[in-house]
Homo-oligomer: A and B are copies of this chain.
């Protein structure tokens, strides 16, 4: 447990000011769960916000006292002496609104009805998340983040911070991300969503009242997702055509190890995650497009940004390829922002952003070491 932030405790903040979603929907009251690591300095200038991706949450680093194996999802990256160094920074992780790990979401009980929100929980966007995250920053007394950091969908939130709150973030780290989804990205999301939406146990999103869970659909969605997280090469290296029983059995049970892996991942996820949250997350991905109000022009969209940027991509990531990171960089350079970019050679596809990799970690560490020199101790 060296270099660990050690035992951590999730905290909860309640917000009584109604949140008006981009869709026009209103959430009168909501709660966000979050964790913090490190110490906020006297002028409150050393805070870093970690934005999570599709299946992430507030438990970024450390472990819970009653569960020593409950390591945070980015524990390799966040801790004392780690690239996001909690000796220098006060790091905030939160569960996004609409999530299923403690923040108000579709599976939470709506105090107005006494029943889970279910289908009545509003469709949420990256913009709405950033608004809710800014309120959490207010709550914590943080006027301006030293950095907002995220991978994949988390990177989109980090980018949105630079657009919605240009004076409240000095550095944005967008890792394995994209400025907006392509048709192919949306297509994969739509298949995943349709798997859930057409599951007979979905009940229009109100399955909680039926005491069932659309496990079949969520399982398929996760299996499909996993294919897009791994590179073709990584799958070939790890599984190839290896058979589970060493021979063909000519049936529909697991034949190949890759099938065993995917089905296991799907089953595990379907037993833990909320299907409505999965739907919301994929919609937030689809909808994010900073250029939508600028006639599709990203150069205009990013004119508002004031932060400095570190953009990182991974060579074998085909979900959000290096090309997609360059689509982030071009409008930033066009607008005269300071942009650092690293294209990391990695065999692990999109999942690379979660994995320990010397070059990747050195880049993040070096960038944040410079940031730490800007903030007082």
Contacts and interface: CB of A to CB of B under 8 A. Distances in A.
Looking at chain A's contact residues, the main secondary structure is: helix
Q: Taking the full assembly, how many copies of this chain does it contain? A: 2
Contacts of A156: none
Nearest to A23: B250
Interface stretch (A4-12, A51-59, A195-203, A356-364): A195-203
B198 A200 contact: no
A194 B182 contact: no
B232 A197 contact: no
Nearest to A266: B194
Contacts of A252: 193, 197, 279, 283
Contact of A236 (B184, B263, B289, B296): B184
B191 A220 contact: yes
A252 B190 CA distance: 9
Contact of A262 (B122, B191, B224): B191
Which of the four size classes fits the interface of chain A? 35 or more
A180 interface: yes
A216 interface: yes
A23 to B, nearest CB: 4
Interface in A162-195: 180-184, 186-188, 190-191, 193-195
A182 B235 contact: yes
Nearest to A198: B216
Given A24-B250, A184-B227, A187-B258, 10 more contacts: A183-B238, A186-B256, A187-B262, A190-B258, A190-B259, A191-B220, A198-B220, A241-B296, A248-B287, A252-B279
